[in-house]
Amino acid sequence: MSVKSFSDQAILAQASPGDKQLAVSFRLLLGLYAIIPLCLLLQLCDVWFWQGFLQQSLPSSPKQFLVFQIIFGTPHIVASSILLASNTEYLKFYQAKIVWMTLTIALVFGVGSLFIPYQAFYVAVAAWTVYHVLKQQLGVGRGLYRMPDRVFDLLLWLSVTAGLFVYIGIFLKNSLDIQQLSWIKLIASGLCVGLICSVLVCQRYATTLLGRWFLWSNVLLVLSSFYLFMQQYYFFAILVPRLVHDATAYIFYVVHDYNKHHRQAHNFIYRAAARAHLPVFIVLPLCSFLLAFVLQSYGDHAVNVVTEFFFGMEIRKAISLGLLGYLALMHYYTEAFTWKQGSPYRRFIAFVK
């Protein structure tokens, strides 16, 4: 398939046909939000016609989310790490920040775990996760709705706080009593009402139709998760923001890597891919999904076999909790600045409507 036909069908629009550079299409990003009406439609069909079959069959507990995590979540975190680690100029540019954050994570989660309660850690990481997801989505559309910082921050923090209570209500529901869960639902309801009222007032800053669509799509991202949480369709409540977030990230990664490596491979991964005649578009997604699958499915067991053989002891969840947890926290940290204007990443990213 030619570059042009691929970009037409995958809607990764070309920024300049002359040099075959790609650009991130806002319309493609907006199309990802189609998962919202799709999940809502499935939920309504399940209530009206299928007697709750989906609700009973889909995962409803964090322990059942391994396959979900292999498909969503972990791969894009691994992809982000590969993108950073495989380009030596990026590592050198961000070396000080990476070292500082690594030491901070080791200190907080190493020493801090001795006296900070587990639930406090869980809520802190959950808050960072929700903030990361919604900051990315609202931030991407900020070029379309050019609102003042204070207005953007208001919508962001209302969204994040509401999303955090939904997250806690889903993943900690088995450790909460009825009254606590009722309070979580009540607070989340109030925050969602506040979010709706705020966006009705603030939408005037989105002067284009595409900008308003993007703004309301991000609001509906939170509202749909809240609704699905209230209806106890926990799988869909997590799927909606996760799919939009992960797919958005992959679009940026693929566009970046195509623009950086399609003429000449600049790291060992793309040199190997060129020898194997693999299209540039699939290299990073393929590597990240395979590595995520191996680490999630076999990583802990492999480490235990090695440590048992050499030291006569096991290290529980060294990969699934230790390594992948570290990569996730580093991902949340580095993605806050690696895609900003002036970053070396941005030399290979452009946007089209």
Residue 3 has pLDDT above 60, yes or no: no
Question: Does 345 score more than 90 pLDDT?
Answer: yes
Residue with the two structure tokens 């949480």: 229
In 11-94, alpha helices (H) = 26-31, 35-48, 53-57, 66-71, 74-85, 88-93
pLDDT at residue 1 greater than cutoff 50:
no
CA 128 – CA 122 distance, rounded (Å): 10
Q: Is the pLDDT of residue 13 over 60?
A: no
Residue 61: the pLDDT is 55
Q: HSE, CB side, 13 Å, CA atoms: give it for residue 131.
A: 14
The contacts found for 126-129 with CB under 8 angstroms, 24 or more apart, are 126/164, 126/167, 126/168, 126/171, 127/160, 127/164, 128/329, 128/332, 129/167, 129/328, 129/332
pTM (predicted TM-score): 0.89
Confidence bin at 2 (pLDDT 50/70/90): very low
Residues 31-57 as b or e (16 or more Cβ within 10 Å = b): ebbebbeebbebbeebeeeeeeebbee
pLDDT for residue 142 is more than 50: yes
Q: How far apart are CA 229 and CA 223, in angstroms?
A: 10
Which stretch of 16-25, 46-55, 151-160, 292-301 has the lowest confidence by average pLDDT?
16-25
The total number of structural domains in the chain stands at 1
The reported pLDDT for the residue numbered 7 is 35
**Confidence (pLDDT) at 290:** 93
Whether 127 has a pLDDT exceeding 50, the answer reads yes
Query: Could you give the maximum distance between any two Cα atoms of the chain, in Å?
Result: 65
- Residue 8 is predicted with a pLDDT of 36
What is the reported pLDDT for 321? 81
User: Percentage of the chain surpassing pLDDT 70?
Assistant: 91
Query: What mean pLDDT do residues 244-266 have?
Result: 93
Q: Average model confidence (pLDDT) for the chain?
A: 87
Instruction: State the pLDDT at residue 6.
Output: 31
Quick: pLDDT tens for 175-201: 888 899 999 999 999 999 999 999 999
* CB-CB contact of 101 with 350 (8 Å): no
Side-chain-side CA neighbours of residue 108 (13 Å)? 15
Range 308-325 average pLDDT: 80
What pLDDT is stored for residue 265 in this prediction?
A: 87
In this prediction, residue 19 has a pLDDT band, given cuts at 50, 70 and 90, of: low
Task: Give pLDDT, residue 35.
Answer: 95
DSSP 350: -
Greater pLDDT, 34 or 299: 34
The secondary structure element, H or E, covering residue 25 is strand 24-25
Higher pLDDT among residues 312 and 35, named by residue:
35
pLDDT given at position 66? 64
Residue 281 domain boundaries? 3-352
Least confident of 10-24, 174-188, 216-230, 266-280: 10-24
43-96 pLDDT, tens digit per residue, is: 999 999 999 999 988 876 545 666 677 677 789 999 999 999 999 999 999 999
Find, among 219, 220, 198, 217, the residue nearest to 209 by Cα.
Answer: 217
Q: Is the dihedral of CA 30, 32, 38, 40 positive or negative?
A: negative
d(CA 131, CA 292): 23
pLDDT band at 153 (very low <50, low <70, confident <90, very high): very high
